C-alpha cells in the first residue's frame, strides 16, 4: 500500500497561509512497503494532514512557512502502556491525563491504557473513569491485561486477582466501556475461552494471547477453533516470549504457533515486542522481523509509572516495584522469603518510551521504515485506529490526523505534533533551520 500523496481537500486553499504548519526533510510515511522519501514535505492545517509527498511535487498553493528538519515520522501508536511520570492508568483521572500527555510529548501520540488484573469492582471503576478520556481523545482506547490469565505466568500481576474465564463478567466490563475497550489479554487455557473470544468479536475487541502456559497444540487449537466458529478477526500476542513457555526444539510452546500464524496471515496475528533491551535480546527482535515482517509486529512499551522518572520505588497495580538502572522488578511481599536471595524479582513492566524502542531496533539492524511501521500503521490497523475520520492515525497520508514527529538522524525527538499541535517545547539543538 502506497501513501496517498494527494491533497486532503479538492482545493489547496486550506493549505495556504491560513496558519498551517509545514515540515520538510526525509519522510517516512509509516505504511509497510513505502520507501523513505529523501526530500519530502508534510503540510498540516486544521488538525489534519493536508498534503504530503516529494517536495518537488508540492503545489504552489501551499505557501505557509516550512520548517526544515532531518527526519519526519508519523506519531507513534502504543497499544500496551500502563503509565508514566509517576502515574499508573487507573481511576486517577488527572494522573492518567498526565501520563498520556507525557507519552505524547515523547512521541507516542496515540496510547492505549493497559489495566492489570484486579477485582471486578476495581476494574469497573477504572473503566468508568478512563472511558471518558478515550471519548475526549486523550487516550486511544483501553486494554485489559487479564484477569483471565494463568497464575504461573502472572509475572508482575497479583496472582490473587487472576480468575477463570467468566463471560458474564467480561460482558459487564465491555458494557461499562461503551466501546472504548479495544483489546483483552487472555490465556488459551482459561475456561470458557471460546465464549470470551465470541464476546470480544461482538464488541470489537481484539483477543490477545498472553500470560499463558499453553502448549503449541492448545494454542493452535484455539486459533483454529476461533476461525472455524465464525469468530474470524485479528488476534495479537501480548509481549511475545515474555510470560509464556520458551520456544524449544522439543517443546515448541505457543511462540512457534503464533510466529507461524503471523507469517501465514500478515496482519491477522500481530506480535507485540518490547524492544527495550531488557525484555528481549536483539537477536530475537531481528529474528521476528525477519520471519514475519512489520505488518505482523507491534512495537510496544509496556511502560509503567517509572517511565520518565528516576530510579526508585513504584507500584504496578497492587504490587510494589523497585526500579534500578531503569529496570523495573517486583519486590517480595512483606514477610515473604525468597527461595534464592540472589534471584531478582519478575520484570515489572518497562521504563522506555516507544521512540527509544524504535531507535534501538534501527541500531540493531532493522530497516528504519520497518521499525517505524511496526510502531505506527500496524498497531493502528490492529486496533481499528486507521479508520477514516477525525481520529484516523498511524501514518503520514492526506486526511489523517496531523500526528507527526520531527526527529534528528539519531531518532531523537525535535518536536511532536498531535492533531497539528506541538506537544513539547521544541528542542532547537536537534533541528535545522527553517527554509
Cα separation, 116 vs 317, in Å, equals 6
User: Please, what is the Cα angle at 186 between 166 and 123, to 5 degrees?
Assistant: 60
Characterise 340 by phi-psi region: left (phi > 0), alpha (psi -120 to 50), beta (else): beta
Name the phi and psi angles at 389, rounded to 5. 150, -175
Residue 16 has pLDDT above 90, yes or no: no
Nearest to residue 403, comparing CAs of 73, 98, 2?
73
pLDDT at res. 68? 97
Nearest to residue 352, comparing CAs of 312, 394, 304, 283?
304
Residue 5 has pLDDT above 70, yes or no: no
Per-residue pLDDT of 345-372, as tens digits, reads: 899 889 999 999 999 999 999 999 999 9
- Strands 297-299 and 269-273, sheet pairing: parallel
Residue 14 has pLDDT above 50, yes or no: no
pLDDT at res. 424? 83
pLDDT at res. 20? 85
Cβ-contact 316, 348 below 8 angstroms: yes
pLDDT at res. 340? 47
Residue 232: which pLDDT band, with cuts at 50, 70 and 90? confident
> Cell numbers of 319, please?
504490587
SS3 labels along the chain? CCCCCCCCCCCCHHHCCCCCEEEEEEECCCCCCCCCEEEEEEEEECCEEEEEEEHHHCCCCCCCCEEEEEEEEECEEEEEECEECCEECCCCHHHHHHHHHHHHHCCEEEEEEEEECCCHHHHHHHHHHHHHHHHCCCCCEEEEECCCCCHHHCCCCCHHHCCCCCHHHHHHHHHHHCCCEEEEEECCCCCCHHHHHHHHHHCCCEEEECCCCCCHHHHHHHHHHHHHCCCCCCEEECCCCCCCCCCCCCCCHHHHHHHHHHHHCCCCEEEEECCCCCCCCHHHHHHHHHHHCHHHEEECCCECCCCCCCCEEEEECCEEEEEECCEEEECCCCCCCCCCCCCCCCECCECCCHHHHHHHHHHCCCCHHHHHHHCCHHHHHHCCCCCCCCCCCCCCCCCCECCEEEECCCCCEEEEEECCEECCCCCHHHCCCEC
Cβ-contact 299, 374 below 8 angstroms: yes
Cα separation, 268 vs 265, in Å, equals 5
Residue 129, number of CB atoms within 10 A of its CB: 16
pLDDT at res. 34? 93
Cβ-contact 310, 334 below 8 angstroms: no
Residue 333 has pLDDT above 90, yes or no: no
Residue 223: which pLDDT band, with cuts at 50, 70 and 90? very high
Q: Stretch 84-91: mean pLDDT, rounded?
A: 96
Per-residue pLDDT of 269-328, as tens digits, reads: 999 999 999 999 999 999 999 999 999 999 999 999 999 999 999 999 889 999 999 899
Residue 15: which pLDDT band, with cuts at 50, 70 and 90? very low
Cα separation, 383 vs 80, in Å, equals 11
pLDDT at res. 429? 53
- Quickly tell me which residue has 461482538 as its cell: 202
Nearest to residue 206, comparing CAs of 171, 182, 230?
182
Cβ-contact 73, 404 below 8 angstroms: yes
Name the phi and psi angles at 83, rounded to 5. 155, -165
Cα separation, 310 vs 326, in Å, equals 8
pLDDT at res. 230? 53
Amino acid at each position: 500500500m502506497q501513501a496517498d500523496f494527494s491533497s486532503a481537500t479538492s482545493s489547496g486553499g486550506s493549505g495556504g497561509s491560513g496558519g498551517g504548519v509545514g515540515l520538510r526533510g526525509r519522510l517516512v510515511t509509516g505504511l509497510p512497503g513505502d520507501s523513505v522519501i529523501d526530500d519530502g514535505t508534510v503540510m498540516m492545517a486544521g488538525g489534519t494532514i493536508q498534503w504530503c509527498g516529494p517536495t518537488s511535487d508540492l503545489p504552489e498553493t501551499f505557501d505557509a512557512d516550512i520548517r526544515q528538519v532531518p527526519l519526519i515520522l508519523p506519531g507513534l501508536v502504543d497499544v500496551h502502556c500502563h503509565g508514566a511520570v509517576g502515574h499508573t492508568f487507573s481511576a486517577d483521572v488527572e494522573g492518567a491525563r498526565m501520563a498520556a500527555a507525557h507519552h505524547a510529548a515523547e512521541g507516542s501520540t496515540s496510547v492505549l491504557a493497559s489495566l492489570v488484573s484486579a477485582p471486578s469492582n476495581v476494574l469497573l471503576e477504572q473503566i468508568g473513569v478512563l472511558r471518558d478520556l478515550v471519548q475526549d481523545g486523550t487516550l486511544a482506547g483501553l486494554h485489559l491485561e487479564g484477569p483471565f490469565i494463568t497464575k504461573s505466568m502472572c509475572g508482575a500481576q497479583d496472582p490473587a486477582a487472576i480468575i477463570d474465564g467468566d463471560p458474564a463478567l467480561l460482558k459487564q466490563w465491555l458494557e461499562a466501556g461503551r466501546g472504548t475497550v479495544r483489546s483483552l489479554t487472555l490465556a488459551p487455557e482459561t475456561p470458557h475461552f471460546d465464549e470470551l473470544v465470541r464476546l470480544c468479536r461482538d464488541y470489537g475487541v481484539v483477543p490477545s494471547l498472553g500470560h499463558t502456559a499453553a502448549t503449541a497444540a492448545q494454542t493452535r487449537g484455539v486459533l483454529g477453533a476461533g476461525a472455524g466458529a465464525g469468530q474470524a478477526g485479528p488476534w495479537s500476542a501480548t509481549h511475545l516470549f515474555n510470560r509464556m513457555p520458551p520456544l524449544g526444539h522439543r517443546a515448541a510452546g505457543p511462540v512457534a504457533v503464533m510466529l507461524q500464524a503471523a507469517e501465514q496471515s500478515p496482519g491477522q496475528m500481530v506480535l507485540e515486542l518490547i524492544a527495550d533491551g531488557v525484555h528481549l535480546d536483539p537477536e530475537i527482535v531481528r529474528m521476528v522481523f525477519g520471519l514475519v515482517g512489520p505488518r505482523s509486529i507491534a512495537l510496544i512499551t509496556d511502560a509503567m509509572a517509572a517511565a520518565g522518572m528516576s530510579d526508585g520505588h513504584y507500584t504496578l497495580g497492587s504490587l510494589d516495584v523497585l526500579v534500578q538502572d531503569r529496570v523495573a522488578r517486583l519486590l517480595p511481599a512483606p514477610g515473604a522469603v525468597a527461595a534464592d536471595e540472589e534471584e531478582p524479582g519478575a520484570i515489572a513492566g518497562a521504563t522506555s518510551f516507544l521512540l527509544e524502542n524504535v531507535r534501538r531496533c534501527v541500531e540493531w539492524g532493522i530497516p528504519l521504515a520497518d521499525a517505524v511501521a511496526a510502531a505506527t500503521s500496524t498497531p493502528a490497523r490492529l486496533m481499528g485506529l486507521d479508520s477514516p475520520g477525525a481520529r484516523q492515525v498511524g501514518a503520514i497520508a492526506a486526511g489523517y490526523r496531523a500526528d507527526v514527529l520531527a526527529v534528528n538522524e539519531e531518532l531523537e525527538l525535535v518536536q511532536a505534533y498531535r492533531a497539528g499541535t506541538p506537544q513539547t517545547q521544541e528542542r532547537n539543538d536537534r533541528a535545522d533551520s527553517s527554509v
